[in-house]
């Protein structure tokens, strides 16, 4: 399936092919990226090429029990590697911290709200999680969310729910269904135009969020300089620094969807702060810490500090530097590593290993 957008400044390539999952949310996100690009390159022509991923096809198992990386990206990355498409739009939280050889994140767009959102059933529309009756069923496919719920809201019962946003909301709205509420990323609901379905936004003090949640990442071939140049206009400085830090944290821990790992980050007055945490599956064991660091940020004219002309630019957790200062990107990466190492000293790896083993034993 494909759809074409007509827009070219320079005719190096007749049509730029953009990969996307087939879900409504994925297509909304992909069209948003194209719209942002056409504002800078009004004559470029884009064609959206859609495909199903393994994560879209396997809906009868929870994500951790499938037990594979790249559940929502592998098929798209194979098409990118073969040249059938030129770049892919991802929800950054779905993208592994290590990309296949030759692939890179050519852009990270300005982040939407990274928080988790509670959507209540009609029966409990005026309730919050804390005021729901004991034993109320909360739907989520995330170990991160279920661990935090089990720890912070022990009166609730957590059950797995899979499917795209439309499917999950339909299950919630089923009067004969089991769910009192479901928890979703606020960003996805807002992008779908369903902000009015949000009953409660969970602050980081109540629930840390997934690495990269709320941000869109654009994956391309590292060697494709035409596309990398095209994508430069999409970068958002605050988002890229926060997300590089978050991804560096997760990469150092070796985490993923098979263990409950979460973060919260902020950039204020040139200081980046990140909190990270690891839980046991039942939420009773928690390992957490917060670290912060000052940053070199662009001057008022938007020019970043000069890079050394004798050094080849490298990737930072698969992110290309483009116009962002390598000094700042390196500092963000190191801050994430510092946080991970702090948790590792507190036995976070043992907690994660136990969680993974419990997931495998439950298959």
Residue 125 and residue 223 in one domain: no
Tokens of 17: 């092919």
94 is a catalytic site residue: yes
Give pLDDT tens digits for 196-229: 999 999 999 999 999 999 999 999 999 999 999 9
Residue 196 and residue 313 in one domain: no
Residue 105 and residue 196 in one domain: no
Give pLDDT tens digits for 109-161: 999 999 999 999 999 999 999 999 999 999 998 999 999 999 999 999 999 99
Give pLDDT tens digits for 239-293: 999 999 999 999 999 876 678 999 999 999 889 999 999 999 999 999 999 999 9
Task: Look at residue 2 and tell me if it is in a domain.
Answer: no
Residue 90 and residue 30 in one domain: yes
Last residue of some domain: 201, 233, 260? Answer: 201
Determine if the pTM surpasses 0.85.
yes
Task: Look at residue 3 and tell me if it is in a domain.
Answer: no
Give pLDDT tens digits for 318-360: 999 877 888 889 999 999 999 999 999 999 999 999 999 988 8
For position 122, which CATH number holds?
A: 3.40.190.10
Q: What's the domain range around 63?
A: 15-113+211-361
Task: Look at residue 4 and tell me if it is in a domain.
Answer: no
Last residue of some domain: 145, 173, 201? Answer: 201
**Active-site residue, selected from the candidate residues 86, 94, 116, 224:** 94
Starting at the edge strand found earlier in the chain, the sheet holding 200-202 runs: 157-159, 137-139, 179-185, 116-120, 200-202
Last residue of some domain: 158, 180, 201? Answer: 201
Tokens of 20: 């996307």
Residue 81: other Cβ atoms inside 10 A: 14
Residue 100 and residue 129 in one domain: no
Task: Look at residue 7 and tell me if it is in a domain.
Answer: no
**126 contacts 67 by C-beta, under 8 angstroms:** no
Counting the structural domains of the chain, the total is: 2
Average pLDDT over all residues of the chain: 88
């Amino acid at each position: 399936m494909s759809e074409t957008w007509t827009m070219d400044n320079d005719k190096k390539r007749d049509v730029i092919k953009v990969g996307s999952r087939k879900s409504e949310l994925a297509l909304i996100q992909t069209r948003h990226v194209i719209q942002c690009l056409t504002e800078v390159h009004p004559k470029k022509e884009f064609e959206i090429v859609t495909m199903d991923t393994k994560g879209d096809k396997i809906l009868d198992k929870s994500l951790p029990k499938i037990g594979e990386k790249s559940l929502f990206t592998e098929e798209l990355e194979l098409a990118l590697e073969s040249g059938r498409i030129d770049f892919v739009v991802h929800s950054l939280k779905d993208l592994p911290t290590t990309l296949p050889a030759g692939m890179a994140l050519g852009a990270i767009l300005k982040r939407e709200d990274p928080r988790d959102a509670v959507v209540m059933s009609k029966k409990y529309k005026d309730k919050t999680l804390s005021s729901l009756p004991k034993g109320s069923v909360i739907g989520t496919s995330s170990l991160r969310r279920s661990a935090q719920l089990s720890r912070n809201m022990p009166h609730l019962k957590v059950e797995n729910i899979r499917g795209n946003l439309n499917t999950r909301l339909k299950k919630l709205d089923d009067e004969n269904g089991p769910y009192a509420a479901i928890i979703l990323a606020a960003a996805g609901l807002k992008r779908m135009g369903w902000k009015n379905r949000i009953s409660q936004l969970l602050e980081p003090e109540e629930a840390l969020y997934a690495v990269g949640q709320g941000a869109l990442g654009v994956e391309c071939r590292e060697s494709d300089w035409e596309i990398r140049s095209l994508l430069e206009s999409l970068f958002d400085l605050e988002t890229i620094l926060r997300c590089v830090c978050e991804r560096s944290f997760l990469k150092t821990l070796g985490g993923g969807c098979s263990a409950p790992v979460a973060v919260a980050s902020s950039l204020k007055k040139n200081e980046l702060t990140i909190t990270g945490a690891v839980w046991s599956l039942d939420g009773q064991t928690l390992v957490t810490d917060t670290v912060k660091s000052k940053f070199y940020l662009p001057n008022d004219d938007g020019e970043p500090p000069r890079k050394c002309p004798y050094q080849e630019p490298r990737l930072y957790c698969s992110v290309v530097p483009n116009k962002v200062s390598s000094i700042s990107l390196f500092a963000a990466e190191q801050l994430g590593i510092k946080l991970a190492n702090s948790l590792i000293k507190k036995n976070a790896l043992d907690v994660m290993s136990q969680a993974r083993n419990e997931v495998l034993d439950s298959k």
